[in-house]
Each structure stands twice: as C-alpha cells, then as structure tokens.
Amino acid sequence: MRNFFRRIKDAEFLPMSEVRKIKTILVMAFLFVITVVTIPLSFFLDYSVVLKVLALALFVLAYFLMIVMIRLNKLMAATQISILYTLGLTIFYTQGTSSFYAYLFFYISLTIIIFYQELYSFITFGTIVMGLGIYYILTHQDGFIMAGSVPGTMYIYMLTLVLFYFIFLVQIIYNEKLYTDMNYDWVKLNQVIDKYQDDIFLYIDEIRKENNHELIHEDLDYQKLVSELAVFTSEQIKESGKEILNLFDLYLYIHEKGLPKILAHEEISVVMKKTADHLNKYVLNRRSDMISMLINFMSRFRQTEPYYKDRYEYRIHKLSNKADEQIIALSLLYQYLSTEVAGADEWDQMKRVLTDKEIYALLTGPEAEMFLLPSVIAFFKENHDLFIKHFYNQK
C-alpha cells in the first residue's frame, strides 16, 4: 500500500500506461465502496428480488473481470469496463427509483469519465450519460418538484447537467491539444537535431579522447553509483529486486560486447536477447536514444543570454550602418568559418573545416545576400586574395 501511494505521488514521472493503471485502480476502489453500499440500498429499489440478485451478480462478475484485465495488463479494456460498470450502476439506481438523489449518479458517472481524461471515452460515454440524464429528468419530473420550487426548476437541472458536460469537454479538448502540441514540438525538435547528433556524439567522444578520459560505463565511480541505485531499488521492490541487479549486469555487458554478439550467442535465452534489445537503446558508448535524449535536454535547458532587442538580428548592415565596421564583421566571419569544425574528415574524426572554396561559395552565393549588402559581397570578391593571406588560418 505504501508503494502504491508513492506511485500516486510520483505519477507525473510515470509513463501513461502506468498512470492509466493507477487511475483504474482508484476508480475500482471507489466502485467497490459504491457496490457495497448498493447491496443494502437495493432493498428499497423497485425491482424484484430475482432481478436485484441478478444485477448484483453481474456487478461482481464485471468487477472481477476488471481485476483480470489489470493482471493481464489490458489497461484500456479495464478502463472501458469500469466506465460501463459505472454506467450500469447509474441505470440500476435511476430506473429503480424516481428519487432526486438517483439524479446525482449522472454526475458521478461523468466525474469518473472525466477522471480518465480521454477524449474519445468522454465523447462516447459522456454523451450517453448526458442523454440519459436529460431523459431521466423529463420522465421523472415529479421527483424534482419540491416544496417551494420555482417554475422551471426542471430546466435548471437539465441546464446544469449540460453545462457540466460541455465545460469538461472543453477542458479535455484543451488538454488533448496541449499534449498534441508538446508531442509535435518534441518530434519536430528531434527531426531538427537528429541529423546533427551523430556528429555531436563523435565530437564529444573526440574531446573525451583528447582529455584522456575513460568511457563512462568503464568508470568505477559510475559503476558504483548505478550499482548502489540498483541495490536501493531492489530493496524497495522486493518482488523483482534480483532482476534489477541482473539488468544492470546485462546493461554493462552490452557496452562491452555489443548487441550483435549477444543476439548471435546461442547459449543466451530468447528472453534475455529481447531484454538486451530494449536496453541497447540506452547505451552510452555509441549513438543511441539515450544520447539523443541527453543532447536534447542539454540544448533545451541550457542557459542563454538575457534578451536584447537585436538578439536575433543577423543582417550586418542592420547591426551597423558604417561601412568599415561591416568589413570588419565580414573579416571576423571569414576567419571564424576558416577555423570552425564543420564535420568529420576522411578518417571520421571531427576535425574537418571548410576550405577556402567552400567559404567563398557561402559568402558569395544567393543566401549571403540575406546577411550582407551587395557592396560588402563585391568588396569580398575584389579582395579575396587579401582575405586568404590575412584571415585564412588553416595549415
């Protein structure tokens, strides 16, 4: 139970499937209480004894079916059954009595559907609940007319239910749009950065070699840290604690041997090969999904300079209207391009820089007119030899 409440507390860090599972369990706990209360209250409903027993038996059967679906990790099925279960309880109460309190079950049903925050479920089942609620109000008007009621009370109840439905429909649609935009931004960022990440990883690895640093998975401090975390996690999750330690050993083994050798090994079981295939996404000694995530997060959350008016102004003549300063800026730009690493060389080392011909093509091509005035470009063409002599620093 302590572990379950800790999972609820840390739900924002869990995957969507795990969050759906927690929501379903909470709804099942609520439905269990409602079902237990329904047993004595069923004696006051306008049903025969046989029908009451049959309905309660169906509820118990549906409840056990939800438990089975959760055990089989069929979470979407368990979610749908819980909604149908709630809808069945609502119909059971509202058709068995004309009391005003049965009307509240329509709000309970909508609240449970809203709790899952799933658009299609809300549109489907929520619309059914709202329709049944309006029908119930129209066919049980006497139960809504109380002493001192003002004319039109029935329509107030109907309007309240409809507003409740549409307010949360807008909220769920907004959340769906928010999640969709976030996923779109993430995919778009990955597409933009992905083509650079191979070069970034190679460049980082070159820096590591130049500084004589060992690979991170071979670092003893790193192994000790992860091992202690694995032991701590295994103590918290006693059922699968040993498996976590074995996963860590397999994770290091993938770094040392590589996935192809593991998959080709005949003595390794199929289950372990599948596990190795999943873990291969998170290795640290080659380009992987883990490396991509680290680079993406570092680039997204890296501190930038404070905003200033001309921060994103790249046209030199907009930064300075003086011709001599524009020429100086062009010289600095040429010198920067002649020394900055632009990719891997013929030995796959991140040391290739642009040649003079490539720089010349950049500074005289059509794209250059977006940043430089035609007069500055013409000056560069006329004095190209001087730029090579004074600013081209390659050996």
In a domain, 227, yes or no: yes
- The reported pLDDT for the residue numbered 147 is 43
Are 150 and 224 in the same domain? Answer: no
Number of folded domains in the chain? 3
Are 177 and 30 in the same domain? Answer: yes
Nearest to 337 by CA among 298, 380, 294: 380
Residues 6+ apart with CB under 8 A from 152: none
In a domain, 189, yes or no: no
Domain coverage including residue 22 = 2-181
- The rounded distance, in Å, linking the Cα atoms of 204 and 354 is 20
- The reported pLDDT for the residue numbered 9 is 61
Which residues sit opposite 352 in a β-bridge?
343
Are 269 and 160 in the same domain? Answer: no
Are 154 and 13 in the same domain? Answer: yes
Question: What confidence tens digit (pLDDT) does each residue in 171-207 have?
Answer: 989 888 888 887 787 777 767 666 677 777 778 888 8
* pLDDT per residue of the chain (395 residues) written in tens, 0 to 9: 566 556 656 555 566 777 888 888 888 999 999 888 888 887 777 778 888 888 888 988 999 999 999 888 888 898 999 999 999 988 888 887 766 777 888 999 999 999 888 888 889 999 999 999 888 888 877 766 654 456 667 788 889 999 999 999 999 898 888 888 877 877 777 676 666 777 777 788 888 888 888 777 777 887 788 777 777 766 655 555 567 777 778 888 888 888 888 888 888 888 888 888 888 888 887 777 787 777 777 777 777 677 777 667 778 888 888 888 989 999 999 988 888 887 777 777 777 888 888 899 989 988 888 888 999 999 999 999 998 888 887 55
Final residue in a domain of this structure, among 128, 154, 181: 181
Q: What is the pTM of this model?
A: 0.55
DSSP 164-232: HHHHHHHHHHHHHHHHHHHHHHHHHHHHHHHHHHHHHHHHHHHHHHHTTPPPGGG-HHHHHHHHHHHHH
Question: What confidence tens digit (pLDDT) does each residue in 55-97 have?
Answer: 888 988 999 999 999 888 888 898 999 999 999 988 888 887 7
Final residue in a domain of this structure, among 120, 154, 181: 181
Nearest to 26 by CA among 79, 65, 104, 76: 79
Final residue in a domain of this structure, among 243, 277, 301: 301
Are 165 and 30 in the same domain? Answer: yes
In a domain, 207, yes or no: no
Tokens representing 346 are 């013929």
